[in-house]
């Protein structure tokens, strides 16, 4: 019985080896000589003057949530589009398939119009 799980164990061990080996080799082999130049700020040339954990505007999160929502819409439309030919050719499902998808798209359009009307998509 445990013979069936042996390939999975080997796969996990090889994956861990490939993931951990470069990190360990870099830590062991790479030279570790920090100097003032390496430890200085490098992005824009001056030291950071604010905390990195500052508060973001809520609109960033709102746009991200709207993006995920409409991205999921596409994820649900692809399977429907793949079986579209079967929906059209099956008389019992023909009308139901179209009504179902129009209701789905209608709900998302209403949500999009609501977000637009509330100003969630306006950027100042």
Residue 62 makes CB contacts below 8 A (sequence gap 6+) with: 120
Give the per-residue pLDDT at 30: 87
| Mean pLDDT, residues 14-31 | 94
- Greater confidence (23 vs 90) lies with 23
Whether pLDDT at 13 is above 90: yes
* Residue ranges per structural domain of the chain: 2-39, 58-117
What is the Cα Rg of the chain in Å?
27
| Mean pLDDT, residues 77-84 | 86
- In 3-state terms, the chain is what percent helix, strand and coil (to 5)? 70, 0, 30
Whether pLDDT at 25 is above 90: yes
Confidence of residue 41 (pLDDT cuts 50, 70, 90): low
The pTM for the full model equals 0.48
Whether pLDDT at 9 is above 90: yes
What is the rounded distance in angstroms from the CA atom of residue 120 to the CA atom of residue 63? Answer: 7
- Greater confidence (22 vs 85) lies with 22
Whether pLDDT at 59 is above 80: no
Q: Mean of the per-residue pLDDT values for the chain?
A: 83
Whether pLDDT at 91 is above 90: no
């Amino acid at each position: 019985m445990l013979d069936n799980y042996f390939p999975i164990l080997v796969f996990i061990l090889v994956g861990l080896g490939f993931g951990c080996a470069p990190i360990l080799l870099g830590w062991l082999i790479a030279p570790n000589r920090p100097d003032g130049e390496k430890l200085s700020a490098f992005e824009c040339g001056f030291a950071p003057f604010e905390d990195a954990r500052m508060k973001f505007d809520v609109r960033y999160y709102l746009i991200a949530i709207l993006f995920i929502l409409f991205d999921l819409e596409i994820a649900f439309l692809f399977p429907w589009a793949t079986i579209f030919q079967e929906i059209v050719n099956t008389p019992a499902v023909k009308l139901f398939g179209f009504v179902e998808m129009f209701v789905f798209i209608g709900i998302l359009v209403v949500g999009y119009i609501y977000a637009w009307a509330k100003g969630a998509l306006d950027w100042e």
